Amino acid sequence: MEAIAELYGYRWCAELRFDDIKTTMHMDVLRAKSADVVRKEIAMHLLAYNLIRGLMWQAAITHGRPLHRLSLAGTIGHLNALEPFLELNRGTDWTSQLHKLLLRWIAGDILPHRPNRLEPRAVKRRPKEYDRLNRPRHQMRKALLR
């Protein structure tokens, strides 16, 4: 029975990672229309996700932190904050210092320990009171003018 509980815990971690990809990486709504572009959009999100996770792994190893306790959203925020400075100082002596600072920030953003956490399966946002746009916009406009 303990083995099943342990496996369920691993499954929960996988579910959280999928949620990170969809929500934190803003992949909950894909913007592409064709199947080919949707595949490219998914591939780019997964590439970005893996690069960010690689940065988190580097921070965890460098600063002796558990990787699963580092914040994906925090890492994205820290990276966005330092990105202009990294770009401005690319190829200079400052690049290494900024990279070390970024890793320190990421390693310092530890998620709280929440054992036996239960999360309800519910939608947080309430639906809007408007009808869905389920026809081309120009057809909907004509219907409004009638």
Q: What is the pLDDT of residues 34-58, one digit of tens each?
A: 999 999 998 998 899 999 999 999 9
Residue 118 predicted with pLDDT over 80: no
Mean pLDDT score, 56-64: 96
Q: Determine the pLDDT at residue 16.
A: 78
**At residue 53, what are phi and psi to the nearest 5 degrees?**
-60, -35
Residue from 76, 84, 63, 71 nearest 17 by CA: 71
CB 25 within 8 A of CB 2: no
Residue 124 predicted with pLDDT over 70: no
pLDDT band at 63 (very low <50, low <70, confident <90, very high): very high
Residue from 82, 78, 75, 81 nearest 60 by CA: 75
Mean pLDDT score, 94-113: 91
CB 104 within 8 A of CB 63: yes
- Amino acid type, 4: I
Q: Determine the pLDDT at residue 120.
A: 67
